[in-house]
Structure 1
Amino acid sequence: MSTGSGADSAPAPITLDKTAHHKTSMFSSLKIRNYRLFAAGAVVSNTGTWMARITQDWLVLSLTGSSAAVGVTTAMQFLPMLLFGLYGGVIADRFAKRNLLFVTQGAMGLGGLFLAAMTLSGHVEVWHVYVTAFFTGLVTVVDNPTRQSFVSELVGPDQLRNAVSLNSANFQSARLVGPAVAGLVTAAVGPGWAFLANGLSFLAPITGLLLMRAGELTRGPLAPRRGKGQLREGLNYVSRHPELIWPIVLIGFIGTFGFNFPIWLSAYADDVFHGGSGMYAAFTTLMAAGSLIGALLAARRRSSRLRMLAGAAGLFGVLLVAVAAVPSAYVFAALLVPVGAVGLTVNVTANSSVQMATDPEMRGRVMSLFMMVFVGGTPMGGPLFGWLADAYGVRVSFAVGGLVVALASVGVGLMLARAANLRLKVDLRRGRQHVAFVARERKRELAPAA
C-alpha cells in the first residue's frame, strides 16, 4: 500500500521546527462547525467518564475494603491497551472514523448503563466492575486512535495543533469538574446514579456525530480491510521516520518514569506533609489546573516544534527533581501548577508533532503506538516507583523519575538534531548565542586525479 509521499523508500528529511504560517488564536478550531460539535460532545462524555472513574474506585473499595482490589480495577482498564493497542490502530485505518466512533461511543455508553443497572438494583458485585472496566478498556483500544486521528479530518492540517491542544483542555476541564460532581451525586443519591449519568453522557458525542456535515470532513485514504501485514507495515513506517520514532520514544520515557503522580502525590500528602486525603485531593486539583493552563497556552502557539518537545521534556524533568526537595507543603502545592502545565505541553507537542508528520492512511496505527507507549508505561513505572518510595522515600522516587526524564530529553534531542543533520555548537564569547544547533558541514569530495 502506498503511503502517499514516497516515504516507504527513504526517511523524509526533517527539521527541528515545523512552522505553520496559518494565523491561530486560542480557540480558532472552534470556528469550524464539525469540531464545535465534536468538542461539545466530548466535554459532556469526558465529565461522565471522570465521574465514573472516581465512583468506580469508591464502589470497589466499599465492596471489598481492599486497595489492592482498586488496583485490579485499574489493571483491567489498562490491560487491553497493552495487549491489543496496535490492533486498534489497524482497525482505525481500515474504516471510516466517524462510523467507528458511533460504535465505540455507543458501546461505552452501554457499559456505563450496565454498571448503573447492577448498582441501582442492589445486585452489584466486584466482578461486575472488573468486567465493565475490561470491556471499556477493549473499546478504548479502538476508540482512542480513532478519536485522535479523526481530529485531523475535522480541522485539517492548519488547525491540527490548536485542536489537539483544545482536546487536552477539554479533558482537563472534565477532570476538574467530574470528580466534584461525582462526589455530590454519590453523597446525595448513591453511586448508581453517577454511573447512569456516565452512560447517558455518551448521547452527547453521538448526537454531535449525527449533526456533522460529512462533506466538510477532510478524509484520507483507507487501508484495505483484508490486507495482510498492516500491523507490521505501521511499525516499519515509524521505524523509517526519525521525526516519528524519537518523539514516541520520548513520550514512552515520560509515561513510564514521569507520570507516576498518584503514587507520589498521595505519599507526599500522607507521609511527608501529613495532610491526609484532603491534601491529596488539593494536590491533584492543582495538577489538573496546571494541565488546563498548559493546554490553553499550547492552543495559542502557531507551530509544532520538535525542539520545543525536547526542551519542554527537559524542563519537566528538571522541575520534578527540584520539586522533590521542597520542604514546605505550600511551596510544593504551588509548584504543582507549573509541573502540570509543562507536563501537558510535552504531551500536546508530541501528539501534534507525530500526527502532522504522519501520512493520513497510517495515522491510526501510528497514534495507537503513541498511546500504547504512553499509557502502557504507567503499569510498569507504577510498581517500580512505588517500591522506590517505600524503600528509599518518596523524595528519592520523585527525583529519580525527574532525572530519567531529563536525561531522556537530552538523548532524544541529540538524536533529532542528528537526524536533521544538525550539531550542537557551544560559543562562550560575549555577545554570542552560547548554545545553538547549526547545520553540519558537508565533507568536500576530492576531485578525481587528472
Structure 2
Amino acid sequence: MLDHLPAFGKSSWTTAQTRSIGASISTVSRTVATLELSELGPRLGLDPDVEDAAPRTSERRLRRNLGALRHRNYRLYFIGQVISTVGTWMQSVAMPWLALLLTHDAFHVGLVVATQFTPMLVAGQFGGLLADRFSKRRILVCSQAAFMLPAFSMFFLSSQGLAQYWMVLTAALAVGCVNVVDVPSRQSFVIEMVGREDLLNAIALNSTIFNGAAVIGPSLAGLIIGLLGVPLCFLLNGVSYLASIGALLLMTNLPAVLKVTTGGSMLVRIREGLTYARHDPVVGTLLLNVAVFSLFSMNRFTLLPIFADQVLHIGAAGFGFLTASQGLGALAGALSLAVLQRRLASGNVQFLIGLAWSVFLVAFSLSRYYPLSIALLVLSGYCQIAFVATSNTRIQAATPDHLRGRVMALYAQSLMGVGPVGSFQAGALAHFFGAPVAMAFRAVVSGAFVTLTRLLRPAVFKAGE
C-alpha cells in the first residue's frame, strides 16, 4: 500500500491543480462576461444589476407598504386591540351614564372621569419602573386580566340593581390604578414588536385603532343602553379583554431587551428617569409641549357641550356631530401618519402642525357658523393626533431601552395625567368668561408655547429631525 502513496499524492496534486485551473477559468469567464455585459448592455438595453436590484426594490417597497403589519407579533397585537379598545370605549360611555342615572348631577359625573385619570398623574412613574424591570408582555397580560375585574363587577352590580354611586367611583379608581401599570408598558412594548424602523407606523396604527374605536364603541354603547340597558356594556367590555390576552400569549420570538440594573431604592431609580428626561433637550422639551397641549387644547368634552348649547345652539345632536368631527379628523391624521410617516415625522413639520392646531382652535372659538365649526374641528383633530403621535415616536426613538418604561410613564402623565387639571381649568374659565374666550385663550397659550420652543430650543423642531 505504501508503494502507491507517491502515485496517490501525485494524483491528488494533479486533481487539485485541475480544479484550481478550472476555478480560475470560470472566474475569468464570469469577469469577461460581466465586462462584456457592462459594455454591450447599454447598447442592447440591458442592465447587469437589474436582476439583483429588482428583488431588492420590490422587497423595500413591500416593507414600506406593510410597515408595522409585516411583523407577526404586531399583527396579533393589532387584532386584539381592535376588539379590546371598542369594549373600552363602550365602558367609557356606560360608566359616566350610570353615574348620571344614580345622581342626576353633572359634578358627580365629572368626578368619575377625574377619578379614573388621577392615579396616572400621581403614580405613573411606578408603572414605568415596573415596565423597565419586568417583561412587558407579562405585565400587559396581568393588566388586561385586572381590567376585567371592575368590568364584570359593574355588570353584576348594575344588572342586579345593586349599583350605588360610590361603587361606580371605586370602579373608576380601579381602572385608573390598572392604567398606571398598563400604559407605560403598552407604550414601551411597541418598539419590541416592530423595532425602530416601523415605530412611527405602529404608533400611527395604534392611533387609528383608538380613534376608530372612539367612533364605533360609543355608537354601539348608545344603541345597547337604549335597547338593552347599561349592564351589557360592562359585560362586553370584560369579554373583549380576552382577545387582547390571547394575542399577547400567541406572540413568539420577542427580542430580548437588555436590562441595565442600577443600585439604589425605587425612588432613586425613578429619579434616574426624571434626570434623563430633564437633561435630554429633545425628550424633556417634547414632554413639556405634550403636557401644555394636553392641559390647554385637549379637553373637548368640557367645552364642546357648552359650544353646542350656548354658542351654536345646535342641541345634543349637534354636540354629537362636533365630537365626531374631531374624532374623524384624528382618525384621518393617524391614517396619514401611517402612510406618509417619513414626510410628517420631521421636527419642522411637527412645529407647523402644532401651530396650525392652535390656529384652528382659535378660529373655532370665533365661528358662529355650524358647518365651518365642523370643518375646523376636523382640522384640529388631524393636527392633534399628528403632533402627539410624532412626539411619541421621537421620544421613544431617543430614549435608551433601559429607561424607556420610565420615560413613557412621563409621557403618559403628560398626556393623560394632566387631564383632570385641564378640565377643571377649562370649566372655570368658561364659567367666568364664556366658552369662546376660554377656548381662544387656551389655544393661544399652546401656540405661544410651541413658538417659544422653536425660538429658544430650535434643535427640538429642527428640519429633518
* TM-score (norm: length of structure 2): 0.83
Q: Which residue of 2 aligns with 1:290?
A: 329
1:23-62 paired onto structure 2 within 5 Å: 25=64, 27-62=66-101
The SS at the match of 1:235 is: helix
Hey, what does 1:196 align to over in structure 2? Answer: 235
Give the 3-state SS of the residue equivalent to 2:259 in structure 1.
coil
Unaligned runs of 5+ in 2: 1-59
Partner of 1:407: 448
Q: Name the structure with the higher helix share.
A: 2
Identity within the alignment, %: 34
Q: 2:106 maps to what in 1? A: 67
- Equivalence map 1:123-202=2 (5 Å): 123-202=162-241
| 1:222 corresponds to 2:259 | yes
Q: Aligned residue for 2:320?
A: 281
Partner AA of 1:218 in structure 2: P
| C-alpha separation in 2, matches of 1:150 and 1:282 | 34
Segment drifting more, 26-35 vs 396-405: 26-35
Residue 73 of structure 1: CA displacement? 0.6
Match of 1:372 in 2: 413
Q: Structure 1's 225 and 102: CA in aligned 2 closer, same or farther, altered over 3 A? A: farther
Structure number with larger C-alpha Rg: 2
Residue matched to 2:392 = 351
Q: Which residue of 1 aligns with 2:25?
A: none
- Deviation at 1:222? 2.6
SS at match of 1:417: coil
Question: Cα distance 1:418–1:56, how it changes in 2: closer, same or farther (>3 A)?
Answer: closer
CA contact (8 A) 2:359 2:443 kept: yes
CA–CA distance in 2 between the matches of 1:126 and 1:52? 16
Matched, 1:93 2:132: yes
Deviations 1:156-201 (Å, cap 9, x if unpaired)? 0100000000000000010000001111111222111110000010
Where 2:458 maps in the other structure, the secondary structure is: helix
> CA separation in 2, counterparts of 1:279 and 1:25?
40
Aligned to 2:422: 381
Q: Map 1:249-398; keep pairs closer than 5 Å.
A: 249-303=288-342, 304-398=345-439
Post-superposition offset of 1:225: 9.0
Letter paired with 1:220? V
Q: 1:195 to 1:418 in 2, by over 3 A?
A: closer
What is the SS of the residue equivalent to 2:198? helix
CA distance in 2, matches of 1:414, 1:370: 23
Deviations 1:91-143 (A, max 9, x none): 11110001111100000012211111111122111111111110110010110
Verify the 8 A CA contact 2:363 2:376 in the aligned structure 1: no
Judged with a 3 Å threshold, the aligned counterparts in structure 2 of structure 1 residues 310 and 269 are, in CA distance, closer, same or farther, namely same
Query: Quick check: 1:26–1:297 contact (8 Å CA) kept in 2?
Result: no
Pairwise CA distance, 1:56: 0.8
Q: 1:33 to 1:327 in 2, by over 3 A?
A: same
- After the TM superposition, which of the residue ranges 259-268 and 159-168 deviates more from structure 2? 259-268
Q: Is the 8 A contact 1:308 1:349 kept in 2?
A: no
* Counterparts in 2 of 1:302 and 1:330: CA distance versus 1, 3 Å: closer
Shift of 1:414: 2.5
* CA positional deviation for 1:155: 0.3
Superposed displacement of residue 299, structure 1:
1.1
Alignment root-mean-square deviation, CA: 1.8
Deviation, 1:275, is 1.5
TM-score where L is the length of structure 1? 0.86
1:309 offset after TM fit, Å? Answer: 2.3
Matched pairs, number: 400
1:373 deviation in Å? 1.5
The ranges of structure 1 where at least 4 consecutive aligned residues each deviate by more than 3 angstroms after the TM superposition are: 22-27, 223-227
Moved more, 372-381 or 286-295: 372-381
Change (3 A) 1:119 1:419: closer
Name the aligned partner's letter for residue 401 of structure 1: R
Q: Judging changes above 3 Å, is the alpha-carbon distance between structure 1 residues 223 and 132 closer, same or farther for their aligned structure 2 residues?
A: farther
Gaps of 5+ in 1: 1-21, 423-436, 439-450
Would you say the 8 A contact 2:294–2:415 is kept in 1? yes
Q: RCO higher in 1 or 2 (8 Å CA, sep ≥ 6)?
A: 1
Name the CA shift for 1:27/1:63 in 2 (closer, same or farther; >3 Å).
farther
Name the amino acid aligned to 1:319.
F
Query: What residue is the counterpart of 1:427 in the other structure?
Result: none
Displacement of 1:262 in angstroms is 1.2
- Secondary structure in 1 matching 2:441: helix
Shift of 1:377: 2.1
SS, match of residue 201 in structure 1: helix
Contact 1:310 1:413 in 2 (8 A): yes
Amino acid at match of 2:190: V
Question: Is the Cα–Cα contact under 8 Å of residues 115 and 129 in structure 1 kept in the other structure?
Answer: yes
Inter-CA distance 56–223: structure 2 relative to 1 (3 Å threshold):
farther
SS in 2 for 1:157: coil
Counterpart position of 2:35: none
